[in-house]
Amino acid sequence: MKVDWRTIFGPALTTATALIAIVVDRSFLAVPNPAPLFVCIVAFAGSLSGLTSGLTSAAIAVAASALFFLNHRLTAGYDVADLVRLAMLAITAAGAAAITALLRKRMVDAFAWERRHHATAERLSAALDEVDIGIVLLDSDTRAEFINRAFRHYFSLPDEKADSKPPFIALMYHGRDTGAFELPEEQLSAFIARRTEMMRSGDSTPISIKLADGQVLRFSCTALPDGGRMLSYTPITDLIRHTDDPANTEYYRSLRAGGDRDKSARRLGAPASTAPSLAPGLPLPERA
């Protein structure tokens, strides 16, 4: 059976200290009361291994003190002062063992919770890196605490910059500087200002973002309980059929937004249960 050295270290140190004090006091010179040193050792034992080690060390300390006080006077035995000191030592040592053991348990539990929380966060981060939806988590100061791989790919964001927890506005400026957005240069400032205002206000209205490489992302913002934001960039380019008229591109992008199924069904001449959802007010494209 494997023995944990932490469990026996406190009692062993208390025993060694007691033996040295008794031998020196009996054979060489008078040693002052070692009770304060015993209390320190008991506290150390409790913090190192827990309540069992601390209480064992406290019992050894009280027994050793009783031997130390024995025949320490001209007459054999104990007087009232010796008994009071032994009682005070027993109470103090037991209290020190209990307090330090409790503090140790709370510290160990906190470290265990932190490890579990960190492991869960790592698994969640790994899972979010596998999806094709860009995810950005912002703290209450709008700094990016997490940016998944999809977002980094869509906006050509280097890992060094993504891991530096940049503010949201820096991500927008990065997209502008790299030419990621399919917008005229004179419209970029207004676009960035509008996106920033939507993020700060927690506006969850989805908007479509056209990228320069032809991809289309559906952006949405979700306000979090701690004041942060979760930003999602869902690719919707695949909703546009390559054989359809490019003039009707916006219609196919709008399919993701949903709408009145019954109205769409009547316009398409199909049952409501099988017709796609259309956004209100969007014209039906003519099919060849």
Kindly report, residue by residue over 53-101, the tens digit of the pLDDT: 999 999 999 999 998 887 666 566 778 888 898 999 999 999 999 999 9
* Residue 5: pLDDT over 80: yes
HSE, side-chain direction, 13 A CA sphere, residue 26: 11
Write out pLDDT tens, residues 188-236. 999 999 999 989 998 989 999 999 998 999 999 999 999 999 999 999 9
Euclidean distance between CA atoms 211 and 67, whole angstroms: 85
Sign of CA dihedral 183, 184, 187, 188: positive
Q: Token digits for 107?
A: 């510290």
pLDDT at res. 250? 61
Residue-wise DSSP of 32-62: ---HHHHHHHHHHHHHHH-HHHHHHHHHHHH
Residue 158: how many other CB atoms lie within 10 Å: 10
Give the 3-state secondary structure of residue 141: coil
Which among 228, 232, 233, 235 is positioned nearest to 167, based on CA atoms?
228
Helices marked H in the chain: 5-27, 35-49, 51-69, 80-128, 149-154, 159-162, 168-177, 185-201, 249-253, 261-268
pLDDT at res. 39? 96
What does the pLDDT average to over 240-249? Answer: 54
Percent of the chain with pLDDT over 70: 80
pLDDT at res. 68? 86
What is this structure's pTM? 0.59
pLDDT at res. 255? 52
Which among 90, 135, 111, 117 is positioned nearest to 235, based on CA atoms?
135
* Residue 159: pLDDT over 60: yes
Helices marked H in 202-270: 249-253, 261-268
pLDDT at res. 50? 94
pLDDT at res. 30? 85
Which CATH entry fits the domain spanning 130-239: 2.130.10.10, 1.10.1500.10, 3.30.450.20, 3.30.70.520?
A: 3.30.450.20
* Residue 18: pLDDT over 70: yes
Contacts of 75 (CB under 8 A, 6+ apart): none
Segments making up each domain of the chain, as ranges? 5-123, 130-239
